[in-house]
């Protein structure tokens, strides 16, 4: 009785430990669900960040392309002066009208020509223009200067543009810097921020101007002094920045990205004084989700593009993915918890029943066998009921994918979510199946008899044929492996699990090589399964033999962490053991022993 009492005491400790394990399973499930949800969130944010960066880069390229297009227009105007003996006002008007720039190039206020005038030429110049029908014409602002310029041609020659007629842009410092740079470099130049003469008191916009130098014909232009001596004037165009950039920004974004805001600054200092453009007059009071600052060089000047992306409350699909992952993970965790807890509680109840029966009739074994049979049947039925929802979920997902084939083709997020639900259900089925095998591993599922290892191994290889072909694995095993005493289903499970692991945990860019051989030592047959896979570090070789322990290789690994525990449980029920060794050339050797023929 004392022996029975001591045995029962230790059994109570063991069962209570198993109940604690059930809670640990629940906790681990919740933890894994949280980790999965976190990485889904990180993946969504990474996708949004890439999309934001792409939009920023696309807007930058569109701005540069737009200004390069304007550069070509200015150079065509320069070519007109170089090809003609004398470009008249009427010719310039017809030329600009032919360009149709007001329809094609939003933001361009005008296209004009500014004449270079030496001080001694000023009086004659003003008299000549007055004779053309402009009696009030004069170069403005008035005053004595070392040199003058005058806007003599500007089209359209109407409305706001009339204010610029006769204006000396060279007299204003910002314009003068750009005009001089264009001459010095014999290239197109862009000015800094200015207030255009065409602006009125309403809808005032920041402006900038682009200049292309025009030189006198047949004059050398090799040196800086020669270019200044040959200067004739500039073809130029003024930009109203809001009109110029508004359509570029809007045409880049789709309806779901309206919360992206852009500020463009003249130079590298992001101050109100340098602000050229702002996509929205009303700035959000919330912190942006993403920001980006891009510095771009444009014809001798620097623009700073500052982007801000604010959260769009209408884009909820990313959050739905997280909720789906959290819901499925929570459901699986609860199912595993109740399954394991029910099993452990049944074990506890079985021990109580066995104790009472042992005290009365000393028949521990027959009644316990019946209880274990009921427990195995319960496990089988429970597994069936747990797998049925997963099977239906996979079926419904496949039906949805068939019904929504056109929607999933256009919406990658929906397709990814359906794949995620299907993969989660398949993982749940695999996990329930492995738990069922684990719980049933200690009891034979058929007659224990002499079973030839080669016969079972060839059935496993045939079952794994597609996987072997996919991984281009090579198999090496003896055709006359010995026989062992065990039931066929459990021996099949051992080889199926070990071969599946060898094929799954393979090294990148390396075809799997698997070798299987045996040797007899006394009354035991020792089986060796060698592979050239990623191997298992020494500190993990004991842990991976435990339930729900695995060596995590990558996020796509479909292992449930139960396989080696099933092998260990089967072998130990046959009074054997399982050990793992590292191969000299890399990879792992699994060694297990089973009873030989009597």
What are the tens digits of pLDDT across the range 184-194?
A: 999 999 999 99
Q: How far is CA 372 from CA 11, 366, 376, 548, in A?
A: 15, 10, 6, 23
Q: What is the pLDDT of residue 317?
A: 46
Fold match between domain 84-245 and domain 445-598: no
Residues listed for the chain: 598
**Whole-angstrom distance, CA of residue 431 vs CA of residue 25:** 13
The count of C-alpha atoms lying within 13 angstroms of the C-alpha of 263, restricted to the half-sphere facing its C-beta, is: 20
Q: Where are the domains of the chain?
A: 84-245, 445-598
What's the average model confidence in pLDDT over 316-336? 70
Give every CB contact of residue 220 below 8 A, 6+ residues apart in sequence.
226, 230
**Whole-angstrom distance, CA of residue 71 vs CA of residue 299:** 9
What's the average model confidence in pLDDT over 336-365? 69
CATH number of 445-598: 3.30.565.10
**pLDDT tier at 23, thresholds 50, 70, 90:** confident
**Whole-angstrom distance, CA of residue 114 vs CA of residue 152:** 6
Contact indicator for 214, 81 with CB cutoff of 8 Å: yes
Report the mean per-residue pLDDT for the chain: 81
pLDDT-wise least confident of 44-58, 107-121, 165-179, 327-341: 327-341
CA 223 to chain centre: 53
DSSP per-residue string spanning 354-421: HHHHHHHH--HHHHHHHHHHHHHHHHHHHHHHHHHHHHHHHHHHHHHHHHTHHHHHH-HHHHHHHHHH
Q: What is the pLDDT of residue 103?
A: 46
The pairs formed by 119-126 with CB atoms below 8 angstroms and a separation of 24 or more are 119/144, 119/145, 119/146, 119/147, 119/148, 122/148, 125/150
What's the average model confidence in pLDDT over 121-137? 93
The pLDDT of residue 458 is above 60: yes
Q: Indicate the helix (H) or strand (E) that contains 474.
A: strand 474-477
Burial class (CB in 10 A: 0-12, 13-18, 19+), 268: exposed
Q: How far is CA 64 from CA 149, 263, 484, in A?
A: 29, 16, 77
Q: pTM for the whole thing?
A: 0.51
What's the average model confidence in pLDDT over 39-67? 84
- Which range of 196-210, 467-481, 553-567 scores highest in mean pLDDT? It is 467-481
Q: What is the dihedral of CA 38, 41, 43, 45, to 10 degrees?
A: -140
Q: What is the pLDDT of residue 367?
A: 61
For 404-479, where are the alpha helices, taking DSSP H only? 405-410, 412-439, 453-463, 465-471
Out of 3.40.50.2300, 3.30.450.350, 3.20.20.70, 1.10.3720.10, the CATH code matching 84-245 is 3.30.450.350
**pLDDT tier at 377, thresholds 50, 70, 90:** low
The pLDDT of residue 222 is above 60: yes
CA 220 to chain centre: 57
**3-class state of residue 190 by DSSP:** strand
Nearest C-alpha neighbor of 152 from the set 168, 170, 131, 136: 168
Specify the DSSP class assigned to residue 291. Answer: E
**Whole-angstrom distance, CA of residue 252 vs CA of residue 254:** 7
Sign (positive or negative) of CA dihedral 152, 154, 157, 161: negative
- 146-180: pLDDT as tens digits: 999 999 999 888 888 888 999 999 999 999 999 99
SS (H, E, C) 565-593: HHHHHHHHHCCCCEEEEECCCCCEEEEEE
Burial class (CB in 10 A: 0-12, 13-18, 19+), 513: middle
Tell me how crowded residue 132 is: count the other CB atoms within 10 A of its CB: 11
The count of C-alpha atoms lying within 13 angstroms of the C-alpha of 434, restricted to the half-sphere facing its C-beta, is: 23
Burial class (CB in 10 A: 0-12, 13-18, 19+), 316: exposed
User: Strands 275-278 and 578-582, how do they pair?
Assistant: unpaired
Contact indicator for 161, 198 with CB cutoff of 8 Å: yes
**3-class state of residue 133 by DSSP:** coil
For 205-310, where are the alpha helices, taking DSSP H only? 224-229, 241-252
**pLDDT tier at 415, thresholds 50, 70, 90:** low
The pLDDT of residue 257 is above 60: no
**3-class state of residue 462 by DSSP:** helix
Q: Which residue has the tokens 């360009």?
A: 99
CA 135 to chain centre: 67
Contact indicator for 499, 466 with CB cutoff of 8 Å: no
């Amino acid at each position: 009785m004392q022996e029975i009492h001591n045995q029962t005491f230790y059994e109570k400790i063991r069962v209570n430990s198993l109940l604690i394990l059930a809670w640990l399973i629940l906790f681990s499930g919740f933890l894994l669900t949280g980790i999965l949800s976190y990485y889904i969130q990180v993946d969504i944010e990474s996708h949004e960040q890439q999309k934001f960066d792409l939009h920023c880069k696309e807007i930058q390229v569109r701005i540069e392309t737009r200004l390069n297009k304007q550069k070509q227009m200015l150079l065509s105007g320069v070519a007109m002066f170089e090809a003609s003996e004398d470009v008249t006002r009427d010719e310039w008007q017809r030329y600009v009208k032919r360009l149709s720039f007001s329809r094609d190039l939003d933001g361009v206020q005008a296209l004009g020509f500014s004449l270079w005038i030496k001080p001694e030429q000023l009086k004659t110049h003003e008299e000549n223009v007055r004779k053309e029908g402009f009696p009030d014409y004069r170069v403005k602002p008035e005053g004595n200067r070392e040199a003058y310029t005058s806007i003599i041609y500007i089209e359209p020659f109407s409305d706001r543009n009339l204010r610029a007629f006769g204006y000396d842009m060279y007299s204003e410092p910002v314009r003068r810097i750009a005009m001089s740079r264009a001459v010095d470099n014999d290239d197109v130049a862009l000015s800094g921020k200015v207030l255009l003469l065409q602006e009125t008191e309403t809808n005032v916009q920041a402006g900038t101007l682009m200049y292309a130098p025009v030189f006198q014909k047949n004059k050398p232009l090799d040196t800086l002094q020669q270019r200044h001596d040959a200067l004739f004037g500039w073809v130029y165009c003024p930009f109203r920045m809001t009109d110029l950039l508004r359509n570029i920004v809007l045409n880049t974004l789709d309806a779901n990205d309206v919360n992206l805001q852009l500020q463009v600054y003249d130079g590298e200092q992001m101050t109100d004084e340098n602000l050229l453009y702002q996509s929205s007059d009303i700035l959000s009071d919330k912190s942006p989700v993403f920001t980006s600052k891009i510095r771009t060089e444009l014809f001798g000047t620097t623009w700073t593009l500052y982007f801000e992306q604010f959260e769009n409350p209408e884009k909820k699909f990313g959050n739905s993915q997280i909720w789906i992952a959290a819901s499925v993970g929570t459901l699986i965790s609860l199912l595993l918890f109740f399954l394991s807890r029910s099993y452990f509680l049944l074990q506890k109840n079985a021990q109580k029943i066995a104790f009472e029966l042992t005290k009365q009739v000393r028949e521990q074994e027959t009644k316990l066998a019946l209880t274990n049979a009921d427990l195995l049947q319960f496990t089988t039925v429970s597994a069936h009921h747990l797998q049925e929802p997963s099977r239906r979920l996979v079926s419904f997902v496949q039906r949805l994918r068939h019904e929504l084939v056109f929607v999933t083709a256009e919406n990658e997020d929906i397709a990814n979510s359906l794949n995620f639900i299907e993969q989660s259900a398949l993982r749940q089925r695999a996990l329930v199946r492995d738990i069922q095998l684990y719980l049933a591993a200690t009891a034979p599922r058929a007659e224990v008899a002499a079973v030839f290892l080669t016969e079972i191994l060839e059935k496993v290889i045939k079952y794994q044929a597609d996987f072997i072909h996919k991984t281009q694995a090579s198999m090496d095993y003896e055709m006359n492996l010995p026989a062992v005493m065990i039931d066929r289903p459990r021996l099949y499970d051992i080889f199926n699990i070990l071969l599946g692991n060898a094929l799954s945990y393979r090294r990148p860019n390396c075809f799997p090589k698997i070798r299987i051989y045996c040797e007899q030592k006394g009354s035991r047959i020792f089986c060796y399964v060698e592979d050239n896979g990623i191997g298992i570090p020494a500190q993990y070789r004991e842990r991976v033999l435990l339930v729900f322990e695995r060596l995590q290789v990558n996020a796509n690994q479909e292992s449930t962490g139960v396989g080696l525990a099933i092998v260990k449980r089967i072998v130990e029920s046959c009074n054997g053991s399982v050990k793992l060794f590292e191969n000299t050339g890399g990879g792992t050797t699994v060694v297990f022993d089973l009873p030989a023929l009597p």
